[in-house]
Structures are given as structure tokens and as C-alpha cells.
Amino acid sequence: MSNAKPWGGRFEGPTDAVVEAFTSSIEDDKNIALEDVEGSIAHATMLGEAGIVSASDAAQMVAGLETIRGELEAGTFPWDETFEDVHMNVERRLATHVGEEIAGRLHTGRARNDQVALDSRLYLRRTLTAIEAALVAIEKALIDQAKKNVDTLLPGYTHMQRGQPVRLAHHLLAYREMFARDRGRVRDTLKRALVSPLGSGALAGTPHPIRRERVAELLGLAGVTPNSMDAVADRDAFLEAMSASAISMVHLSRFSEEIVLWATAEFSFVKISDAFTTGSSMMPQKKNPDVAELVRGKCGRVIGDLVALLVTMKALPMTYNRDLQEDKPPLYSSLSTWRASLEVTARMLPAITFDAARMRAALVEGFVTATELADHLVQNGVPFREAHGVVGRIVAHCVAESKTLEDLDLPALRTFHPSFADDAMEWVDVEVAIERRDLPGGPAKKRVLEAIAAAEAELA
């Protein structure tokens, strides 16, 4: 490995080989190589239009960069580890296509500081656009399952205890709401990220008469950053993207946790197809929900990536510091893990079969309509706190006698309180209980069908 410094004549001695290896970012930079070329094409075009370099030189630079883009896309680009980053690799490769003198003009009016800031924003555009598509796919998969399970009833849980009856479709649409918010966070991140920092230079701009707005226009960006110092020091877009990633991975982890639980013999609410399960090396009877478990496990890595960058950023003075080389590994890890987790979960969802009979049986076992009896008393003038205590004693009686609420009759209810009306036993019917909750955001069939239609319309 060469110890030469490509960035000027300030140094008399070579860099230590261990230092070169330690400071190199080549492997990470490969993630933004296409963006580096894209930004350089726009910059070269602008240099020519502004008369900072000749039109001929600009045209040759653009043609050479187009060739390099083709090499990168084909996987034939000759990465050279003697150059510490993607920027110098591209510039040195350009020199082989158009000559040293013309290639040497490419960096006019910019620094690596604003160059990498631009590359990173373009990377976010490409990656978050793909992630938004993955979020749409998982939302559609949840909606499809909801449409199939509008009439499937199960207990809703609090504290992992059976609470009240709901429709499975309503439960699934709760997750769809989470991923829809994640998609909104992606769009919000891109709104702030997609402006051009190029022209900020190392920290204080450039004396060359560059046209910052033209570069932004060529790249399809919304505008330019307003402060050169902030532009090269800012990593908020990374932090926003990684925050969105961590929140979304928590949503994926929560969903995965329920699938893992529901696949147990103790619940037996779901069956997962063989394509998304694995076996045991010792126990032949096992069918493990490994995909869901891995998604749940990867959540921790993504949260760790966010924390890593927050800690890196927390004490950096203005403007660029070499610590910022450590911004991209957690970003790449976070977003690639998030995207893969979304994509595999979206593929797994159609492979899940829900056991409607088992879910319905769980409704009988858990006193899930006890609240209905309390509400019935409230409608007949009993204060809620008193009604709550009355029904609590009824449940305790049923537990002691190994009975369900459905095993009782009106005379039995009236031994606990005289205000139970003639229709009291109708209130313990789970379907009636669900349909009584006919309000926006509720689990009544009409409301669930409206929610499905609204979700489909929003995605369309």
C-alpha cells in the first residue's frame, strides 16, 4: 500500500501504514459510490455552465463519470485501497479516462466535507424510497389479512391478560396504523434531507462563482442549505432516518412477539407455513418461528445504531471532525436491517393462518364481557365504581364455581344486584359486545370495514 498523500504538499513524510488502514473508509464508502458519481456529474455540469471550467473539459468530465457509473453498476469498478475514500477513487479513475489535468479540475469549488454531505443525502433518497415501498408492502399484507378476518373474533389483551372481545381485523389494523406512521416519518425525513449542501466547501464556502441552486436542480433537490458551517457539520437527516428506523423496528418487534406467542401450543392462535419456520437440531417435533424471532432480535441492533451516532454527535464542535467518518456504518447497518426486516415480514404475513375456532374458545375462557355487565348496570343508574365492584364479585363467584359468565342466568345476576334488567344476559354475548362499540376507531364490523376501505384508499 502506498503511503503517498494525494491532498497537496503540506506533508514531508509518509503516513504510517497502520494509520492509513485505520483511517480508510473504502468499504463503507462503496455504499455511496453511485451517489458520489451522480453528485460529481451535476457539479461538473455546473462548472461548465458557469464558465469555471471550459465547456469541453466539463463535457469530458461528465462523459468519464458516466463511464465510471457504468463500471460501478456492472461491478467492474477497480477499487484501489491506496486511496482512502470513494472521492479519491472516483477522481483517480476519472484521470485514467480523461487525463490528469481534466480530472484534476473536477474538485474545483468543493471539499470532501460538502461532497460527502451531498452523497449521503442522495443515499438517503435512494434508500428511504425503497424503504417506503417496503412499508407499503407490509401495510398491504396486513390489510389483506384483515379483509379475510373481519368476522374472526378473539380477546384483546392488556397486561397479557384477556381484556375485551375484538375483531382480528381490528387487531391487525392497529399494526397497519403503526407502519403508516413510520411511512410518514420517512417522508418527513426526506423533506428536510433533500437539499443540497454542495458549495459549502470545507466550512466557509468557495470564492468561485458556482451556482449552488443549479446543482440542486440537476439533482432534483428542493433547494440548498442556508448555512455553510451547519451544512458540513449537520447529521440530523441521519439521526431522523435512524430514529424512524428504530421506532419502526420496535413496531416490527412487537408484531413478531405476538406471532411468536400466538404460535405456541399454549395459545395456538396461528400456524406459520414451513417456508418461514425452521426445525430443531435435536427435537424432531419442533417448528420454530425463527423469522419472527430474528426480526425481534434485530430490533436491538438498530436501536444500538441510533445510540452510537447520537453519542458520536453529542460533543462535536463546529464544523467537520474526523469522528464524522463514523456516521455512515451505523446508518448503513440501521437502514439495511430495517429494510430486510420489513421485506421478510411482508412476505411472511400471507403465510400465516389464524385459528378462528381457538381464538373464539379463548373468548369464553377469559370473562372478556365482564366490562359489559358493568356498563349494563351503569345504563340502569348504578355508579360505575359500584358496578365495577358488583361485577368483580360475580367473576370471583364464577371462578370459585368453575363457571363462565355464560353459565349464569338473570336470577343469578340479580342475587348480586337488583338493577340487572331483563336484557342483562344479552350483554355477555361477545358479538353483541363488539357491535355495541360502534364509534370511530372502534371494533364494530361497520367501523372495521370503513377502516379497511380508508387504508386501501390512502395507499392507492
The CATH number of domain 113-150+160-210+221-355 is 3.40.50.300 = no
Burial of 26 (C-beta count, 10 Å sphere; 0-12/13-18/19+):
middle
Catalytic residue of the set 24, 159, 248, 268: 159
Among residues of the chain, what percentage have pLDDT more than 70? 98
Q: In CATH, what class is 17-108?
A: mainly alpha
Q: Cα–Cα distance between 378 and 451 in angstroms, integer?
A: 29
Task: Give me the mean pLDDT over the 222-249 stretch.
Answer: 98
Q: Does position 360 have pLDDT exceeding 90, yes or no?
A: yes
Q: Cα–Cα distance between 221 and 420 in angstroms, integer?
A: 67
Three-state DSSP state, 459: helix
Burial of 365 (C-beta count, 10 Å sphere; 0-12/13-18/19+):
exposed
Q: Does position 196 have pLDDT exceeding 90, yes or no?
A: yes
Please name the residues in contact with 146: beta carbons below 8 A apart, sequence gap of 6 or more. Answer: 168, 169, 170, 172, 173, 176, 448, 452
State the pLDDT at residue 6.
56
Locate the domains of the chain by residue range: 17-108, 113-150+160-210+221-355, 361-459
Is the Cβ–Cβ distance between 376 and 420 less than 8 Å? yes
Task: Give me the mean pLDDT over the 272-299 stretch.
Answer: 93
Residue 159 appears among annotated catalytic residues = yes
Distances in Å between the Cα of 440 and the Cα atoms of 154, 437, 443, 448, 456 are 20, 9, 9, 9, 17
Q: Cα–Cα distance between 367 and 36 in angstroms, integer?
A: 62
Catalytic residue of the set 24, 245, 280, 397: 280
What nine digits make up the cell of 169? 381485523
Could you tell me the pLDDT band of residue 322, with boundaries at 50, 70 and 90? very high
Q: Cα–Cα distance between 434 and 164 in angstroms, integer?
A: 9
Taking only the tens place, the pLDDT of each residue in 21-79 is 777 777 888 999 999 999 999 999 999 999 999 999 999 999 999 999 999 999 999 99
State the pLDDT at residue 5.
53
Could you tell me the pLDDT band of residue 280, with boundaries at 50, 70 and 90? confident
Q: Cα–Cα distance between 163 and 39 in angstroms, integer?
A: 56
Beta-sheet strands, E only, within 23-160:
153-158
Could you tell me the pLDDT band of residue 281, with boundaries at 50, 70 and 90? confident
What nine digits make up the cell of 414? 340479580
| Among 15-24, 67-76, 206-215, 261-270, the least confident range | 15-24
Residue located via cell numbers 480530472: 103
Q: Does position 294 have pLDDT exceeding 60, yes or no?
A: yes
Three-state DSSP state, 11: coil
State the pLDDT at residue 9.
62
Positive or negative CA dihedral for 17, 19, 20, 25?
Answer: positive
Residue 280 appears among annotated catalytic residues = yes
Task: Give me the mean pLDDT over the 336-362 stretch.
Answer: 97
**Whether pTM exceeds 0.95:** no
Residue located via cell numbers 371494533: 443
Indicate the average pLDDT of the chain: 95
Burial annotation 379-411 (CB, 10 A radius, 16+ → b, else e)? eeebeeeebbebbeebeeebeeeeebbeebeee
State the pLDDT at residue 320.
94
Residue located via cell numbers 467518518: 325
Q: Does position 436 have pLDDT exceeding 60, yes or no?
A: yes
Closest-CA residue to 307 (of 239, 248, 234):
239
CATH number of 361-459: 1.10.40.30
Question: Helix axis angle, 290-313 relative to 328-348, nearest 10°?
Answer: 160
Three-state DSSP state, 43: helix
State the pLDDT at residue 1.
33
Is the Cβ–Cβ distance between 223 and 171 less than 8 Å? no
Q: Does position 3 have pLDDT exceeding 70, yes or no?
A: no
**Phi then psi for 352, rounded to 5 degrees?**
-100, 130
Q: Cα–Cα distance between 365 and 359 in angstroms, integer?
A: 10
Q: Does position 378 have pLDDT exceeding 90, yes or no?
A: yes
Positive or negative CA dihedral for 131, 244, 180, 219?
Answer: negative
CA angle 155, 158, 162 (to 5 degrees): 35
| Among 129-143, 164-178, 364-378, the least confident range | 364-378
Question: What are residue 155's DSSP bridge partners?
Answer: 165
Per DSSP, 316 falls in state: P
Q: Does position 2 have pLDDT exceeding 90, yes or no?
A: no
Q: Cα–Cα distance between 394 and 404 in angstroms, integer?
A: 10
Q: Cα–Cα distance between 231 and 123 in angstroms, integer?
A: 16
State CA 73 to chain mean position distance.
26
Burial of 345 (C-beta count, 10 Å sphere; 0-12/13-18/19+):
buried
Taking only the tens place, the pLDDT of each residue in 76-115 is 999 998 888 999 999 999 999 999 999 999 999 999 999 9
State the pLDDT at residue 21.
76
Among residues of the chain, what percentage have pLDDT more than 90? 90
